[in-house]
Amino acid sequence: MKNTSSIALVNWLPKPGTVLLCDSIAAASEMAFMLKGEWDGCNSLVIPKSDQVAIETAAGLLETSWCYEHTSEPVLIRLTVDELLRRYATGDRFFVNANLKCAQLGELCLENIDLSYAKLNLANLSGANLSRANLAAAEMPAANLSGSNLSRSHLVRANLAGANLSNANLRGAYFNNTNLSNANLNDADLRGANLERVDLTKTCLDGAVFE
């Protein structure tokens, strides 16, 4: 059975065209409609061709800020926990680029969720079930993930500098090129985890299980 977060990611692989980032989910949805593009369900959209006059016109009508992908990053309107849970309960698992800085997500069940590129700085995810989650390139410095279930999750290029992962279930997690510097992995279960090219500078690993 395929991982639903992986399916969602495949559905949002960059298409031919121009990728735009907006400062809110609503603005991205409206701009995709106005410019005959494809909305990703979060704050990104792909338009068939780059027409800056049309883009600026649409953005002006919506009073939103925007930028091209990889050139800069707009300040995202924060996704509330209530909105995330409402969408998750309806079957939505796609929260790419979501702004969840400092969010209180402890003890929640968020299996198979796609939070790639999400902003989770200082977020509380202690005891959360994030098994098989896609957290590729997520920003999670100083996040609290103590006692969380991250088994078989994808954390490629994620920034977990200074994060608390003590007692976390990390079995089979994929950490390729992940920043775990100064993180706390004491008593974490890392059996079967891929730690290739991971930054473990000053990482605490007391009691961690690797096999």
Domain spans of the chain? 17-68, 78-211
Query: Token pair for residue 16?
Result: 């031919």
pLDDT tens digit at each of 211 positions of the chain: 444 444 444 343 444 578 888 877 888 899 999 999 998 877 788 998 888 899 999 988 988 888 887 665 556 667 899 999 999 999 999 888 888 989 999 999 999 999 998 999 999 999 999 999 999 999 999 999 999 999 999 999 999 999 999 999 999 999 999 999 999 999 999 999 999 999 999 999 999 999 8
Q: Model confidence over 175-189: pLDDT tens digits?
A: 999 999 999 999 999
Res 91: pLDDT: 95
**The pTM is what?**
0.70
3-state secondary structure of 104: strand
Per-residue model confidence (pLDDT) at position 73: 58
Q: How far apart are CA 150 and CA 138, in angstroms?
A: 14
Q: Is 16 exposed, middle or buried (0-12, 13-18, 19+ CB in 10 A)?
A: exposed
The structural architecture, per CATH, of the domain 78-211 is: 3 Solenoid (2.160)
Residue 19 pLDDT: 86
pLDDT of res. 170: 98
- In DSSP notation, 5-71 reads HHHHHHHTSPPSSEEEEESSHHHHHHHHHHTT-EE-SSSEEEESS--HHHHHHHHHHHT--EEETTT
Q: Which pLDDT score is estimated for 74?
A: 59
